[in-house]
Structures are given as structure tokens and as C-alpha cells.
Amino acid sequence: MDAWLVAADNALRTLAGAGPAAVPSPAAPLAIPDLPDADRRLSGALMRVNHVGEVCAQALYNAQALTARDAVARARFEAAGREETDHLAWTRDRLVQLGDRPSLLNPLWYLGSFGIGWVAGRTSSRLSLGFVVETERQVEAHLAGHLERLPEGDHASRAIVLRMKEDEARHADQAEQAGGVPLPKVAQWLMRAASKVMTTTAHRI
């Protein structure tokens, strides 16, 4: 019961935007320039997509920590989730600076991702870790694409995305070193397809 109460609290904090960052944003030392309207709208849309990704990450790690079969795996998921809380706060704060908003569908994204994480967590520990590896590799590639698309003058958003990309790569490496195994090709394809739907929708809604 205690674990479920913690999970519920995490969900409410994630969706309410109440989770503070434990680490200062990489954008904190940078001047925040005024961007042309078109650049500001593009940055806002991209950072909204990144914020959705962090909402999903909270749900995935929360569900996998709940279903972890041993204490070591549970601690690993909880530690990664805490780092993702920093990403969630950084992207949320940047959206505010850009005068934009989070996705209106965040509750849906959270519930869907929690369900996926629950199913993954109920498999073997090696497959569950393999799911983390594949997820983080796809997120890393997605963030690399955003670094190419973000306006050159938006140094704040670029600093945040670059740091997030580095952290996601490290999470994938750690999960792989802990014994994560490659997922079947069909699972990888389904994950990419689901991600495409989410990112396309969150760009606008």
C-alpha cells in the first residue's frame, strides 16, 4: 500500500507541475534573449514535446519501480526517475519563459506510459532493463533531432536539451551494463510508432 501511495503522489506531482528540480537548470547561467515570434513558437512547441517525454519518463520509471522484482533494480529505477524529475522541471520552467504551456493531454500520456511500464516491469528484470535501454536510445535520438531544429539563438533551450541528451545516454548505458537485453524488433518498431504519435500530437496540443 505504501508503494502505491508513493506512486500516486508522484503522478499528482508530475501532472500538477509541483516537482522541484534538485539540480539547477543548465539554462540558469545563460541570458534569456528575446526571440522572434516564429522562433519562440517553434521553441515552445519543441519544449512542450520534451516536457511530455519527461511526463512519460516519470510514469515509466514509477511503474517499473513498483513492479521491480528485486531491491537493486527498484533502486536503479527510482534513481533514474529522480534525475528525470530534474528534466521535467527544467522543461516546464523553460515553457513558462517562452510563454507557452504543457500538453493538454499530459494525463493521457502519463496513464498510457504507466501501463506500458507496468507491463514491462512484470517481465523479467533483463527484459525490463532492455526496455529502458531501448526507450532511452530512442529519446536520445529524438533529442539530437531537436538540437538540429531549435533556433540557433535559443541558447537556453539548447543547453537544456543537450544536458538531457547526455543524461538519457547514461541511463541507457547503465541499464545495458546492469543486464538489459535487446527487445524484439517488433517491440522496437511499436515503441517508435507510439513515440511518433505522441510527439506529433504534443507539438500542437
Q: Where are the domains of the chain?
A: 36-202
> Which distant-in-sequence residues (6+ apart) come within 8 Å of 187 by Cβ?
134
Q: How far apart are CA 129 and CA 80, in angstroms?
A: 12
> Span 66-83, mean pLDDT?
77
Q: Cα–Cα–Cα angle for 195, 198, 201, nearest 5°?
A: 145
The per-residue DSSP string of 84-117 comes to HHHHHHHHHHHHHHTT----TTHHHHHHHHHHHH
Which listed CATH number (3.40.640.10, 3.30.420.40, 1.20.1260.10, 2.40.340.10) goes with 36-202?
Answer: 1.20.1260.10
In the chain, the percentage of residues whose pLDDT exceeds 90 is 26
Mean pLDDT of 13-21: 70
Among 36-50, 99-113, 118-132, 165-179, name the most confident range. 36-50
